Chains A and B, each alone.
Chain A
Amino acid sequence: MAVAIREYLRGYLGRVRSGELGTLPIILGLVVISIVFQNLNQNFLTAQNLANLLVQGSGVAVIAMGVVFVLILGEIDLSVGYVSGVGAAILALTVTGQHPWPWELSVLAAVAACALIGALQGTIVALMRIPSFVVTLAGLLGWNGVVLLLVADRGTIPIDNPVIVGVANSLLTPDQGWLVLIVGVALYVSFLMGQYIVRRRRHLSVDPLPLLAFRAVLVAGLGAVVVYVCNENRGLLVPIQGVPVITVLIVIMLVILTVLAGRTKFGRHVYAVGGNAEAARRAGINVAGVRIAVFTIASTMAALGGIVLASRLRSVDTGVGGGNILLYSIASAVIGGTSLFGGRGKVVHALLGATVIQAIDNGMGLLSLSAGAKFAVTGLVLFLAAAVDALSRRGRTAAGIG
């Protein structure tokens, strides 16, 4: 067993040396950020603030999950910010007013409209071969205009539909929180074990058991900390406790998109096109179709993120989808470890990156630093992440891997 672990560590070190860093640096980064902010302000690691952090970062995290697919393809989508605004505006306009639609229909309309936007932009990129940078830059301007046209004469549209507001504002009861965690961990462990047993039986290489145990304990432990902290009473006048519902929704999206990227034919083809589009084409892959689908996914996730953001603010105004949403979404994916050069990245990177950005934003807010300082530091972190990506790529080239 010790031999197996040593073998694994050697393989891991080899991968690090050749530029496959995995999620380790980002997790270490989060730990460092937490320690620094906790030392500067004792409120950082309180139950209230951590629960806040989970909700604050959720909209951007959802959008960033879609961005990861675009980056894996080696493209960029600058329109996701205002596309999320279009989605939120459509939702707000239809779910309120004198004849409000049922919330399901509103959500469907918002998501479908944004999916169409994505399909349109993807088709232009894939078939006309106009660089995605330009197409989605045009999208950024154009959809900003559409948001203004949709919302303009209303100023601010308050959302009062309880389900929509509940997306980002409701909590599980403490017992529900533990139940969800136990079910989730049980599913994860049975997945790990199932895979281990199947591969072992067919005499294929397997990760050593202690490593699997370590992963399971890590996930269960992290989950337990989140549930425990969220279940602390953080209300001043009335008790407020429980895991935010949006956190569970995000984990569900993470699982679905991770399966899509890693375990489906489509996901495999996205990586292939991002790695070498010509080889993918010669392997019989419909490259244009893959590109269109990926831009559709990005816009669809943008719509869902827009709904989360609107739900959190309980309203939509003319600025919806603007501000730092786009930059934070792309930065989240990159800081989390998704390569800007295409071909490499995981959906979980979006979540990790969004957590880092939100931790910086939140921690500097607690220190009452200005927005300017926040942006400067976030920019620096983004630069570091991009530099790590570029350097690790050079490491691979130097290792004769290119």
Chain B
Amino acid sequence: MSQTPQTTPPLLELRKVSKSFGAVQALKDVDFVAPAGTVTALVGDNGAGKSTLIKCIGGIHPFDHGQILFEGKEVAIHSPKDAAHLGIEIVYQDLALCDNLDSVQNMFLGREIRNWLRLLDETPMEIAAGQTLRDLNVTTLKSLRMPVASLSGGQRQSVAVAKAVLWKSKLAILDEPTAALGVAQTAQVLALVRRLAESGLGVILISHNLNDVFAVADRISVLHLGRMAADVATADVDSQEVVELITTGRYRRQPAHAVREET
């Protein structure tokens, strides 16, 4: 399993971040690390705080307390624009694409290339989109110019992920990328996730499906009731242990912090 050398700081590091909504403490003193070139799975039961954590990283609502370090420097993320500016791209489960637009239009949405007349310049956009998809080995698309409504779930997810690569994001956060997909399409998207990490991006994968997590993740971070229950290397645990962590927040062999130091 790949591991960032200790000399370079991790791509994203959260230190003791907290977030509450009124009386509800959604996150409490959470530490979280997502190194570059690594797939970090974020798992936890419903209501454990996964979505809140992601939304805070994405700038949809800010953390109440705690530090965010991006590439070793402390940063403030107050809006989705701040996150995008840092190179954080979130691929949402259902809300990533406009069905009536084609793949190229979706990948360049909000960042269209224009020519000297300030009209859309389709040629470079189509070339760049096609190149990115080919680099990611997404070869099943028949046409870049069909509305994405006509694509399969896996293809749509691929286009959404490719957008992160096209924009040279440093950190891609994938929210349940395989939730609605069949077996073959899931494999296709997981392979894509692996390639993203291999191309040097930091990837945070949120998933309910432990098969997916064990298939691609290098590390697993488990949230339980708003606290970080464990942060382990995938190789050191089996799925039974992770299920236990998710449901009870405990771990029968050793306490979580001990596992972390050991890896």
B237 within 8 A of A: no
**A212 vs B30: C-alpha distance in the bound complex, in angstroms?**
61
B80 interface neighbour in A205, A265, A284, A400, Cβ under 8 Å: A284
9 residue pairs bridging A and B, Cβ less than 8 Å apart: A11-B143, A268-B120, A269-B110, A272-B105, A279-B98, A282-B96, A284-B110, A396-B149, A401-B150
Q: B: which residues have CB within 8 A of A?
A: 80-81, 84, 90, 92, 95-101, 105, 109-112, 114, 118-120, 123, 126-127, 143, 145, 147, 149-150, 152
Whether B119 contacts A402 by the Cβ 8 Å rule is no
Query: Which of A23-31, A85-93, A196-204, A304-312 lies at the binding interface?
Result: A196-204
Residues on B with C-beta less than 8 A from A401 are: 99, 147, 149-150
B101 interface neighbour in A18, A263, A275, A284, Cβ under 8 Å: A275
**A276 vs B101: C-alpha distance in the bound complex, in angstroms?**
10
Whether B127 contacts A202 by the Cβ 8 Å rule is yes
**A116 vs B75: C-alpha distance in the bound complex, in angstroms?**
42
**A129 vs B63: C-alpha distance in the bound complex, in angstroms?**
28
A343 interface neighbour in B100, B112, B120, B152, Cβ under 8 Å: B100
Whether A402 contacts B99 by the Cβ 8 Å rule is yes
Report, as a range, how many residues of chain A touch the other chain.
20 to 34
Q: Which residues of chain A in 281-307 are interfacial with respect to chain B, using CB atoms and an 8 Å cutoff? A: 282-285
Q: Name the residue among A11, A276, A284, A399 with the largest chain B CB count within 10 angstroms.
A: A276
Give B176 Cβ to nearest chain A Cβ, in Å: 16
Residues on A with C-beta less than 8 A from B101 are: 268, 271-272, 275
Q: With A20-B147, A399-B150 given, can you name 10 additional A-B contacts, CB distance below 8 Å?
A: A268-B105, A268-B112, A268-B120, A271-B100, A275-B98, A276-B98, A279-B96, A279-B98, A400-B152, A402-B99
Residues on B with C-beta less than 8 A from A278 are: 95
A368 within 8 A of B: no
Q: Which residues of chain A in 175-203 are interfacial with respect to chain B, using CB atoms and an 8 Å cutoff? A: 198-199, 202
Given contacts A205-B143, A282-B80, contact A343 B110 (CB under 8 A): no
Q: Name the residue among B84, B95, B127, B152 with the largest chain A CB count within 10 angstroms.
A: B95
Whether B92 contacts A282 by the Cβ 8 Å rule is yes
Whether B152 contacts A282 by the Cβ 8 Å rule is no
Residues on A with C-beta less than 8 A from B118 are: 264-265
Whether B120 contacts A264 by the Cβ 8 Å rule is yes
**A259 vs B118: C-alpha distance in the bound complex, in angstroms?**
11
**A275 vs B80: C-alpha distance in the bound complex, in angstroms?**
21
Residues on B with C-beta less than 8 A from A259 are: 119
Give A68 Cβ to nearest chain B Cβ, in Å: 14
Whether B109 contacts A268 by the Cβ 8 Å rule is yes
Whether A276 contacts B95 by the Cβ 8 Å rule is yes
B97 interface neighbour in A11, A279, A344, Cβ under 8 Å: A279
Residues on A with C-beta less than 8 A from B81 are: 284
A135 within 8 A of B: no
Give A255 Cβ to nearest chain B Cβ, in Å: 13
Residues on A with C-beta less than 8 A from B126 are: 204
**A278 vs B105: C-alpha distance in the bound complex, in angstroms?**
16
Give A286 Cβ to nearest chain B Cβ, in Å: 10
Q: Name the residue among A272, A344, A396, A400 with the largest chain B CB count within 10 angstroms.
A: A272
Residues on A with C-beta less than 8 A from B143 are: 11, 205
**A283 vs B112: C-alpha distance in the bound complex, in angstroms?**
11
Residues on A with C-beta less than 8 A from B105 are: 268, 271-272
A280 within 8 A of B: yes
Whether A199 contacts B123 by the Cβ 8 Å rule is yes
B109 interface neighbour in A18, A20, A205, A283, Cβ under 8 Å: A283
Q: Name the residue among A18, A20, A279 with the largest chain B CB count within 10 angstroms.
A: A279
Give B163 Cβ to nearest chain A Cβ, in Å: 9
**A278 vs B92: C-alpha distance in the bound complex, in angstroms?**
11
A274 within 8 A of B: yes
Residues on A with C-beta less than 8 A from B127 are: 202, 204
Instruction: List the A residue with the shortest CB-CB distance to B60.
Output: A282
Whether A284 contacts B99 by the Cβ 8 Å rule is no
Residues on A with C-beta less than 8 A from B150 are: 18, 396, 399, 401
Q: Which residues of chain A in 10-24 are interfacial with respect to chain B, using CB atoms and an 8 Å cutoff? A: 11, 18, 20
Given contacts A205-B143, A282-B92, A284-B80, contact A275 B120 (CB under 8 A): no
**A18 vs B146: C-alpha distance in the bound complex, in angstroms?**
11
Give A198 Cβ to nearest chain B Cβ, in Å: 6
